[in-house]
Amino acid sequence: MNELVPGGNLELPSGAVNIRVPGPFDVSALVTDDGGKVRDDGDFVFFNQPAAPGALLRGDTLTVDPPGLRTGATRVTIAISPAEPGTVLGDLPSPALQVTDAAGRPLARFTPPRPRQETVLLLAELYRRGGLWKLRALGQGYADGLAGLARDFGVDVVDDAPPSAAPPGTPRALDPDGLLPLVNSARAAAGSPPLCLDARLMSAAREHAAAMAAAGRLGVETRDGVSVYQRVTGAGFAYLTLGEHLVSGPRTTAEFVAYCLRTDGPRRTLHDPAFTHAGLARVYDGPSGDTYWTALWAVPLTPDGLTRTAATVIDLTNRERARAGLPRLIADPALTAAAQAHSADMVARAFYAHTAPDGSRPWDRAAAAGSTRRSIGENIACGQRSPADVVEGWMNSPGHRANILRPGFTHIGIGCAGGGRAGMYWTQLFGG
């Protein structure tokens, strides 16, 4: 039986497979196309709707028969949430996904890093490549609960009537200072879509603003040694992109927004059309008389978004090789799995190095993921917020640039994971 790591892949046999997650969890699944969207609400399988063509949920076991899925379906994403409402996954036993074939023979097992404040965890996805179906281990927490997960996959979830000043789904209590309407007004003037507040981002913003006020100074990392990025994932929001404004001085919401719009860098962040979710908080420090603000702007992590990000890094890397007259690198599944696992590991175990705490090195990780490439090279980076930023940084470093432009490399895998001490952690793994 295969023990999978985050990002690990397994080719599935023909016919149905069973995916079981024992314990105090509700299992759910979303049937989608390559774009990551359901066709209609019937593609969401959960305890209140336990069946769809090719998918059947019985208790803690989901049976998926790929040939029986509806026309156009190329992916089935499996998630879990606590069976008891209001519980966070960190208070429950660690989930373990078990995969068996139609005859009950074990195929794979996956135990993700232990969740903390997440209320939904994407465990795995079944996906079609050519004529084959494969399983990919994920292990990523989700920001908005089960309803938010469904919405991001295109399921129509009905909300109670929201306040008129806030986007749909934004409870008034989340924004007592009325900051979001001012932010969204500024975004609308720049042609950017409105943001929705997220309770987990709000919690992380409040914690960080309070920690800055207690220390009497601004900082990405506060006196307790916790960074704003760690607070975000600790609150249960897994992100693909995160921007922040850490500010002291403005006393009113209008002054804060004006401050963010005053200079080019903060203005670009506030206007960035990619951001969809926000967390906003201010804390008044009585002794100093200062007001400390934390504003968080985010793109939630989804499997499809992670795939697009990796593809963009590869495309930018290949552009640099083309300028040097070198052939394009080809995406390699084994190298991708190893790269993603290393990025996730650097976040989970709070290190930044080519050699992991267990002593494994790039070629060890590549081989463990199934790579048979004779030569292996690795670039890592942390802190960059976008594919363009990370590739530019690598190209400005002689050693990293040499790997990108090495003629003997023919294949590549990309991994990225957010929530570490420095934010986003990137891995670029080459093979030849």
Rounded CA separation 302/30 (Å): 12
- Residue type at 365 in one-letter notation: R
pTM exceeds 0.75: no
- Residue type at 155 in one-letter notation: V
Rounded CA separation 147/67 (Å): 28
Which pLDDT value is given to residue 16?
A: 94
Contact criterion met (CB below 8 Å) for 113 and 96: no
DSSP state at residue 137 = E
What contacts 373, CB < 8 A, 6 or more positions away? 332, 335, 366, 411, 431, 432
DSSP 387-423: HHHHHHHHHTSHHHHHHHT-TT--EEEEEEEEEETTE
> Which one, of 80, 97, 65, 140, lies nearest residue 1 by Cα?
97
Strands across the sheet containing 106-110 = 2-4, 106-110, 97-101, 17-20, 61-64, 55-58, 51-52
Which pLDDT value is given to residue 173?
A: 45
Tokens, residue 286: 């009585």
Rounded CA separation 28/14 (Å): 22
User: Could you tell me the CA-to-CA distances from 129 to 58, 134, 232 in Å, in that order?
Assistant: 27, 7, 34
- Decide: helix, strand or coil at residue 56: strand
| Region class of 216: left (phi > 0), else alpha (psi between -120 and 50), else beta | left
Contact criterion met (CB below 8 Å) for 260 and 275: no
Measured from the Cβ of residue 95, the count of other Cβ atoms closer than 10 Å reads 21
How many residues are present in the chain?
A: 432
Q: Which helix (H) or strand (E) holds 378?
A: strand 376-382
Contact criterion met (CB below 8 Å) for 391 and 316: yes
Q: List pLDDT tens digits, range 261-292.
A: 999 999 999 999 999 999 998 887 656 678 89
> Residues 193, 197, 203, 205: what is their CA dihedral angle, to the nearest 10 degrees?
30
Q: Which helix (H) or strand (E) holds 27?
A: strand 25-32
DSSP state at residue 163 = P
Q: How many CA atoms lie within 13 A of 302 on its CB side?
A: 22
Which residues in the chain show pLDDT less than 50? 157-173
For 352-357, the CB contacts below 8 A with 24+ separation are: 352/380, 352/382, 352/420, 352/422, 352/425, 353/380, 354/378, 354/380
> Which one, of 333, 356, 334, lies nearest residue 425 by Cα?
356
Strands across the sheet containing 330-331 = 330-331, 411-420, 423-431, 376-382
Measured from the Cβ of residue 177, the count of other Cβ atoms closer than 10 Å reads 12
Which pLDDT value is given to residue 149?
A: 64
Residue with tokens 């590991």, as numbered in its chain: 345
Rounded CA separation 213/295 (Å): 14
DSSP 216-275: TS--SB-TTS-BHHHHHHHTT--EEEEEEEEEES--SHHHHHHHHHHSHHHHHHHH-TT-
Count H helices and E strands in the chain, helices first: 11, 21
Which pLDDT value is given to residue 324?
A: 97
Tokens, residue 265: 């860098």
| Region class of 139: left (phi > 0), else alpha (psi between -120 and 50), else beta | left
Q: List pLDDT tens digits, range 60-100.
A: 899 999 999 998 899 999 999 887 766 778 888 889 999 99
